Amino acid sequence: MTLELYLNIFAAIIGLCIGSFLNVVALRQLKGEEFVLKASHCPKCNKFLKWYDNIPVLSYLFLGGKCRFCKEKISIQYPLVEASTSVVFALLFFFFGLSFKTLFLMILSSLMIVMCITDIKEQAVFDANSYPVIILGILYNALNLGDISLLNSCMAAAAGFVFFEIVARSGKPFFGERIFGEGDSVIASGLGAFFGLKALIPIIIVSFIIQVLAGMPVVVKNMLKEKDYKSVTAIFALFFCIILAFINKYIIRHEELIYYSLGLSGLTMIIAIISTVIILKGIKERQSFTLLPFGPALIISGLLYMFAGSNLLSCLIKLFT
* Helix axes 258-285 and 229-247, enclosed angle (nearest 10): 160
Q: Between 140 and 282, whose confidence is greater?
A: 140
| pLDDT value, residue 219 | 75
Q: Give Cα separations from 8 to 89, 90, 148, 211 (angstroms).
A: 9, 6, 27, 32
What is the CA angle 247-253-258, rounded to 5? Answer: 130
The 10s digit of each residue's pLDDT in 132-186 is 999 999 999 999 998 899 999 999 999 999 998 988 887 676 666 777 788 899 9
| pLDDT one-digit tens code per residue, 48-96 | 777 777 788 888 888 888 887 787 888 899 899 999 999 999 999 988 9
Question: What digits encode the pLDDT tens for the residues 183-238?
Answer: 899 999 999 999 999 999 889 888 888 887 887 777 777 777 777 777 788 878 87
Q: Show me where the domains of the chain are located.
A: 1-96, 99-226+286-321, 227-285
Taking every pair of Cα atoms in the chain, the longest distance, rounded to a whole number of angstroms, is 74
Give me the pLDDT at residue 149, please: 94
Are the C-beta atoms of 291 and 177 separated by less than 8 Å? Answer: yes
